Amino acid sequence: DQQVKQNSPSLSVQEGRISILNCDYTNSMFDYFLWYKKYPAEGPTFLISISSIKDKNEDGRFTVFLNKSAKHLSLHIVPSQPGDSAVYFCAASRYSGNTPLVFGKGTRLSVIA
Amino acid sequence: KAGVTQTPRYLIKTRGQQVTLSCSPISGHRSVSWYQQTPGQGLQFLFEYFSETQRNKGNFPGRFSGRQFSNSRSEMNVSTLELGDSALYLCASSLEGPGNTIYFGEGSWLTVV
């Protein structure tokens, strides 16, 4: 039973356009969500997070939107750059801490110059 | 500030052998978690240690074990290696408390032949 789902295994976007990566979760206990970026043979790098008291969080070119009623979140990257090409993982947990991250299976983003 | 450091980065072991992987967390981080990444299963939680005690455990067989030392450094051990144990093993650390980000190391690539 997959509690965090990233239904698009891959996404191609032209440089300069918006990349939208989606994530759905099923466990209502999750109230803290994180996005990680991963290059091959490297560990995941933290990008941005959001707690359930917010519906949007921004950091530079990265914005995460949370729709609690739909149990859906999305990561927007604007403008997309070739260096953004990587696998993006959505992860969910409890804001209170002390609980492990549950990851989606990732979406491979390719930004085409 | 140094990140999460994992050693060794790459190793090859024979089926039936055992392996020990090491992790040094970010200075000041007392929570250390281990995750396994495989192409088919994505990132899966193994266990988490805090103050030398295992606080959370994922759904892995008893062949997978770990420990944490008083300086927060951690090791994980896999005994009686199987071909299916070939994976990237990731260590992560975080501060204690709500809403803290979990930071990952570069990982240890284990190949079982």
Q: Of chain A residues 56-95, which have a CB less than 8 A from chain B?
A: 89, 91, 95
Q: What is the pLDDT of residues A76-100, one digit of tens each?
A: 999 999 999 999 999 999 888 778 9
Give the integer Cα–Cα distance in Å for A34 and A95: 11
Which of A30, A5, A7 minimizes the C-alpha distance to A103?
Answer: A5
The predicted structure's pLDDT at residue A98: 77
Contact call for A34 and B102, based on CB within 8 A = yes
What's the one-letter identity of residue A71? K
A65 CB-contact burial (10 Å; exposed 0-12 / middle 13-18 / buried 19+): middle
- Of the pLDDT bands very low, low, confident and very high (cuts 50, 70, 90), residue B1 is low
Q: What is the average per-residue pLDDT within B16-23?
A: 98
Q: Name which residue leads in pLDDT, A99 or B69.
A: B69
**Looking at beta carbons, which residues of chain A come within 8 Å of B98?**
95-97
- Of the pLDDT bands very low, low, confident and very high (cuts 50, 70, 90), residue A24 is very high
Which of B76, B90, B86 minimizes the C-alpha distance to B110?
Answer: B86
Query: B67: phi > 0 → left, psi -120 to 50 → alpha, else beta; which?
Result: beta
Q: What is the average per-residue pLDDT within B48-77?
A: 96
pLDDT value at B43 more than 80: yes
DSSP codes joined into one string, B88-109: EEEEEEE-SSTTPPPEE---EE
Q: Name which residue leads in pLDDT, B26 or B1.
A: B26
Q: What is the average per-residue pLDDT within B25-39?
A: 94
Residue B97, chain A, CB below 8 Å: the answer is: yes
Residue A48, chain B, CB below 8 Å: the answer is: no
Name the token pair of B83.
């071909």
Give the integer Cα–Cα distance in Å for B55 and B72: 14
Contact call for B103 and A46, based on CB within 8 A = yes
Are A109 and A19 in contact by the 8 Å Cβ rule? The answer is yes
Contact call for B98 and A42, based on CB within 8 A = no
Are A21 and A111 in contact by the 8 Å Cβ rule? The answer is no
Distance from chain centroid for Cα B73? 11
Residue B96, chain A, CB below 8 Å: the answer is: yes
What's the one-letter identity of residue A80? S
